[in-house]
Amino acid sequence: MKSVKQIDVKRGITVAQLIEEMEASGVLGAGKIGKAARLVADMFKDPDYTVFLTLAGALVPGGLRNIIAELIKKEHVNVVVTTGANMVHDLVEAIGFRHMVGTFKAEDFGRIRVTKLPPCIRQLLAKVQAGENLPHSGRFALTAFLHALGMSPEEILHMFSTSPDFDESKTRYQIEHITGKISGTEYTPPECSTMKSYGICFGEDNLCKKEWMTHPLKYYRIKDRSPKRKGKVEGKEKEDF
Ligand code: SF4
């Protein structure tokens, strides 16, 4: 066994020198980046290599379009294997549209309808309305979710007022902290994986079971945009908040 070489970062260090330091450490992510960089350098140097570039994931929306284009233009890659989504994302930019930086804070949700809520939020809401105290994680998730849908801090406070342990000043403080009024940070609702780890996912329906279902707000957005469901929901005004 050999000891781990500690990485030295000095003023003015170049990217190449930093990669060399990482490679010399030989361990964990730094070591792997060093090996990967060496492999890529060897591939680009050797004219006999056939370099396949495989693309998956939101690369163009992630800002890598120019880098991929340069790799192709400079013939650093011979073959590109890509998902269709990457082609579409590239075409979108090529015809002059742009991908935008978005947030889960949606101004266009309109009126909140219970029938569009994901099971987790519906359950949390039902518990509050049934006079049950929620765990802290549940209060946080419910507050952040309803705030993201446009519910005001006062409305959220009113919603929690039926909880047995309701303390107006404490609850107001927590809501104003989560919604950014006093903290300066608007907290986004937790992702599905976090909800599961908190134990507040509360059973999953078919939409929840989709591989790409990663966030309760995504669930709401999809239900909101489904014309079939929309038609059904619009007849149920009594289910509005
Ligand atoms: S999978 Fe996600 S959206 Fe569905 S109930 Fe669980 S946390 Fe909510």
The SS3 assignment for 52 reads strand
pTM confidence score: 0.55
The tokens 């591989």 sit on which residue? 211
Mutational test site, ligand 1, from 121, 192, 194, 215, max ligand atoms within 8 Å of CB: 192
| pLDDT in the model for residue 199 | 94
DSSP annotation of 58: S
Mutational test site, ligand 1, from 201, 209, 210, 224, max ligand atoms within 8 Å of CB: 201
**Which long-range contacts link 218-223 to residues 24+ away (Cβ below 8 Å)?**
219/118, 220/109, 220/116, 220/117, 220/118, 220/121, 220/149, 221/106, 223/115, 223/116
Mutational test site, ligand 1, from 213, 214, 220, 223, max ligand atoms within 8 Å of CB: 213
| pLDDT in the model for residue 73 | 95
Mean per-residue pLDDT pooled into runs of 10, the chain (241 residues):
88 94 91 91 84 89 94 91 91 87 56 86 91 93 93 91 90 93 85 94 87 92 67 37 40
| pLDDT in the model for residue 227 | 57
* Residue ID of nearest Cα to ligand 1 atom 8: 120
Pocket of ligand 1 (CB under 6 A): 118-120, 192, 195, 201-202, 204, 208, 213, 216, 219
| pLDDT in the model for residue 195 | 95
| pLDDT in the model for residue 99 | 85
* Residue ID of nearest Cα to ligand 1 atom 2: 192
DSSP annotation of 79: E
| pLDDT in the model for residue 110 | 60
| pLDDT in the model for residue 231 | 42
